[in-house]
């Protein structure tokens, strides 16, 4: 199979349209950025707390919000994870000690609002050791013989069962436990007496104090700039300075547009997104390098100087390569976006958008810059010293 056979597209002839398009995209990106008062950063960078809570059925968002608002001053967010009975409760930036206190008070509020006021053990929010300890005596009283080892194993199996999907941490009824190996009807009866099932479980929490947030923000900006600088140096070393410059401008363009996409769609910039951006800085370079390599090769063979035609031919000759490699990475990134779950959503969105923009920019941005530079500066040199050229 072949997709591109001997293409003769005049890319450089249409460069003003594409440069125009890029400028418009950049303007939209920066405009949206400015209109929204900056990018929306995740708690990795702002500081704050996110608590993942999974419910046994559809979560009562309003009740959660009002219960927590009553306890904690300031703005809180309760965000539903689509397709799951799960919410993420977000607390905004506070001072370090206050954040930790409020994180605990969210858990407490959930317990008092949705839990039972008994001294039975909440199986959905306990740990295996606590369950084993809780059951030891009642099992003895019910004359079900079990040594500590067996009891610990039973508790572990019950929790492993609870944690695997589709339960994913929440049991909705004790009858579900019948499936667990070793849970006899008698044991189940004891569990029923000693435990209860709160309709929710706390699956995870992330608390980041303002100090660490600020530190990460600093590092994120530096890391992206260093990476761009690193690219410039490497390409200048492997090719010529102008090649490095053209490639870095193209990649910078990709980063801005990708960030613009995040701003437009109100997606948060998290540490994972920065990881994706840095990967992108390297990856978006790949297509550019493929084209530049070809230009360099042609120049060596023909012993001529750079002309728009050589650049255009090189783009055409490498077109199938450029499109295929990007396409394959795009497939991987898309699979990750569609199936990789909410935690990696930002990461894979950045890559999906970035791979497209990166491919586009290596054809329509990096190469025209090369030609532009050459016509502007190299030609001038030749005119100034015509004798040596002859």
Partner 1 sequence: MKSLKWKAALIVAITLGCLYGVIGLPKSKDELAANWNKNIRLGLDLRGGSLLVVQVQLQDAFKVEANTQIERLKEELGKQSIAYASIDHNDPQTLAEADQIAIQVRGIPAEKSQLFRNIIAELLPSWVLTPLSSTDYRLTLKPTEALQIKEDTITRAITTIESRINGLGLAEASVQRRGGAGSEAEILISLPGLDDPARVKNILQTAALLELYEVKDGPFPRQEDALAKLGGVLPLNTKLMRSAPRPGDPAGEGWYLVARTPVITGRDLRDARPAQDEFGKWETAFVLSQESKGRFGRFTEANVGNRLAIALDNQIRSAPVIQSRIEDQGRITGAASHQEASDLALVLRAGSLPAGVVYLQEQTVGPSLGADSIRKGLIAGAVGLVLVVAFMLAYYAGAGINAVVALVLNGVILIGCLAYLEAVLTLPGIAGIILLIGMAVDSNVLIFERIREEIRAGKATLAAIDTGFSKAFLTIIDTHVATVVSCAFLFMFGTPAIRGFAVTLVIGLVANVFTSVFVSRALFQFSVARQGFNPRISIGI
**Contacts of partner 1 in 292-321 (CB under 8 A):** 293, 297, 317-318, 320-321
- 3-class secondary structure for the chain? CCCCCCCCCCCHHHHHHHHHHHHHHHHHHHHHHHHCCCCCECHHHHCEEEEEEEECCCCCHHHHHHHHHHHCCCCCEEEEECCCCEEEEEECCCCHHHHHHHHHHHHHHHHHHHCCCCCCEEHHHCCHHHHHHHHHHHHHHCCCCCCHHHHHHHHHHHHHHHHCCCCCCCCCCHHHHHHCCCCCHHHHHHHHHHEECCCEEEEEEEEECHHHHHHHHHHHHHHHHHHHHHHHHHHHHHCCHHHHHHHHHHHHHHHHHHHHHHHHCCCCECHHHHHHHHHHHHHHHHHHHHHHHHHHHHHHHHCCCCCHHHHHHHHHHCHHHHHHHHHHHHHHHHHHHHHCCHHHHHHHHHHHHHHHHHHHHHHHHHHHHHHHHHHHHHHHHHHHCHHHHC
Nearest distance, CB of residue 260 and partner 1, angstroms: 20
Distance CA 282, CA 266 (A): 25
Distance CA 131, CA 122 (A): 9
Nearest distance, CB of residue 390 and partner 1, angstroms: 33
User: Which residue, 108 or 305, has its beta carbon nearer to partner 1?
Assistant: 108
360 binds partner 1 (CB under 8 A): no
Sole binder of partner 1 in the list 42, 48, 59, 209 (CB under 8 A) = 209
Sole binder of partner 1 in the list 96, 189, 240, 268 (CB under 8 A) = 96
How many residues contact partner 1, by CB under 8 A? 91
367 binds partner 1 (CB under 8 A): no
52 binds partner 1 (CB under 8 A): yes
Per CB under 8 A, which of residues 145..184 are in contact with partner 1?
Answer: 159, 162-165, 167-169
User: Which residue, 130 or 245, has its beta carbon nearer to partner 1?
Assistant: 130
Nearest distance, CB of residue 166 and partner 1, angstroms: 10
Q: Which of 123-131, 139-147, 174-182, 257-265 is the region at the interface with partner 1 (rule: CB under 8 A)?
A: 123-131
Per CB under 8 A, which of residues 231..270 are in contact with partner 1?
Answer: 231, 234-235, 238
Nearest distance, CB of residue 380 and partner 1, angstroms: 29
Q: How far is CA 365 from CA 23, 163, 192, 289, 362, in A?
A: 11, 50, 67, 13, 6
Q: Which of 179-187, 189-197, 211-219, 256-264 is the region at the interface with partner 1 (rule: CB under 8 A)?
A: 211-219
216 within 8 A of 47, measured Cβ to Cβ: no
Sole binder of partner 1 in the list 262, 283, 360, 364 (CB under 8 A) = 283
Nearest distance, CB of residue 333 and partner 1, angstroms: 6
Sole binder of partner 1 in the list 67, 278, 299, 310 (CB under 8 A) = 278
C-alpha 289 chain-centroid distance: 26
Per CB under 8 A, which of residues 102..121 are in contact with partner 1?
Answer: 103-104, 107
Kindly provide the b/e burial profile for residues 298-309, where b requires at least 16 CB atoms within 10 angstroms of the residue's own CB: bbeeeeeebbbe
User: Which residue, 176 or 317, has its beta carbon nearer to partner 1?
Assistant: 317
Per CB under 8 A, which of residues 53..82 are in contact with partner 1?
Answer: 54
| CA dihedral sign of residues 376, 367, 276, 257 | positive
Sole binder of partner 1 in the list 189, 206, 268, 313 (CB under 8 A) = 206
Nearest distance, CB of residue 178 and partner 1, angstroms: 20
Sole binder of partner 1 in the list 158, 191, 216, 259 (CB under 8 A) = 216
Q: Which of 14-22, 181-189, 283-291, 306-314 is the region at the interface with partner 1 (rule: CB under 8 A)?
A: 283-291
Sole binder of partner 1 in the list 23, 24, 335, 385 (CB under 8 A) = 335
User: Which residue, 32 or 259, has its beta carbon nearer to partner 1?
Assistant: 259
Nearest distance, CB of residue 70 and partner 1, angstroms: 21
Q: Which of 171-179, 215-223, 257-265, 358-366 is the region at the interface with partner 1 (rule: CB under 8 A)?
A: 215-223
């Amino acid at each position: 199979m072949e997709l591109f056979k001997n293409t003769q597209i005049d890319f450089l002839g249409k460069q003003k349209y594409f440069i125009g398009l890029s400028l418009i995209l950049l303007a939209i990106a920066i405009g949206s950025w400015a209109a929204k008062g900056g990018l929306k950063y995740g708690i990795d960078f702002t500081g704050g707390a996110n608590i993942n809570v999974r419910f046994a059925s559809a979560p009562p968002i309003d009740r959660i919000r009002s219960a927590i608002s009553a306890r904690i001053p300031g703005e809180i967010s309760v965000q539903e994870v689509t397709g799951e009975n799960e919410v993420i409760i977000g607390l905004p930036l506070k001072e370090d000690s206050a954040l930790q206190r409020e994180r605990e008070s969210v858990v407490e509020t959930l317990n008092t609002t949705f839990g039972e006021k008994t001294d039975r053990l909440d199986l959905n929010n306990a740990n295996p050791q606590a369950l084993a300890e809780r059951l030891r005596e009642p099992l003895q009283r019910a004359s079900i013989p079990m040594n500590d080892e067996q009891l610990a194993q039973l508790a572990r199996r019950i929790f492993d069962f609870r944690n695997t999907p589709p339960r994913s941490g929440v049991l909705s009824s004790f009858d579900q436990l019948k499936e667990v190996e070793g849970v006899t009807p008698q044991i189940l009866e004891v569990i029923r007496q000693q435990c209860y099932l709160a309709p929710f479980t706390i699956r995870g929490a992330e608390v980041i104090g303002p100090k660490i947030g600020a530190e990460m923000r600093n590092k994120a900006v530096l890391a992206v700039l260093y990476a761009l600088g690193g690219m410039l140096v490497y390409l200048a070393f492997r090719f010529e300075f102008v090649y490095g410059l053209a490639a870095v401008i193209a990649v910078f363009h990709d980063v801005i547009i990708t960030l613009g996409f995040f701003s437009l769609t109100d997606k948060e910039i998290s540490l994972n997104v920065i990881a994706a951006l840095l990967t992108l800085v390297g990856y978006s370079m790949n297509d550019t390098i493929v084209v530049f390599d070809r230009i360099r090769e042609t120049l060596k063979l023909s012993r001529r100087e750079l002309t728009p035609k050589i650049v255009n031919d090189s783009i055409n000759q490498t077109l199938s390569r450029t499109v295929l490699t990007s396409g394959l990475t795009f497939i991987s990134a898309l699979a990750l976006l569609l199936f990789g779950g909410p935690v990696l959503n930002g990461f894979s969105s950045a890559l999906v958008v970035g791979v497209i923009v990166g491919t586009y920019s290596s054809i329509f941005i990096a190469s025209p810059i090369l030609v532009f530079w050459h016509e502007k500066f190299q030609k001038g040199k030749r005119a100034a010293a015509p004798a040596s050229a002859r």
